[in-house]
Amino acid sequence: MTYIYSGVELEERLCPHCNEPLSPWIAPPESGWGVIVVCNNNKCNFFVGSDSDIINKRDDSNLGCRYAENPDNNYHPFNLLAWCK
């Protein structure tokens, strides 16, 4: 199954860590990415795990890593550094 988001055809993808659907997100122009798909599940094992790893290193940091895939690169997975609330 595919769908159109912001003029880009995307596959429906599931996060391999929590099985939630990945959400499309338009990356900032300076990142060099177009539309990417991201796991926005705050309970995702990938996100929760990365969050605690980073917090253990820096108490004042709210950074975490979300699971993301780049449709422009055959849905190659990568870590999207994100601020968590």
Provide the mask over 31-60, with x wherever binding to Zn ion is found by CB under 5 A and - wherever it is not.
--------x-x--x----------------
| 3-state secondary structure string across 38-62 | ECCCCCCHHHHHHHHHHHHHCCCCC
Asked if 23 interacts with Zn ion (CB under 5 A), we say no
At 77 the three-state DSSP class reads strand
Asked if 18 interacts with Zn ion (CB under 5 A), we say yes
DSSP assigned state of 72: G
Asked if 82 interacts with Zn ion (CB under 5 A), we say no
Nearer to Zn ion, 58 or 85 (CB): 85
* Part of the chain binding Zn ion (CB under 5 A), chosen from 4-12, 14-22, 26-34, 57-65: 14-22
* Closest by CA position to 27, among listed 46, 4, 6, 11: 6
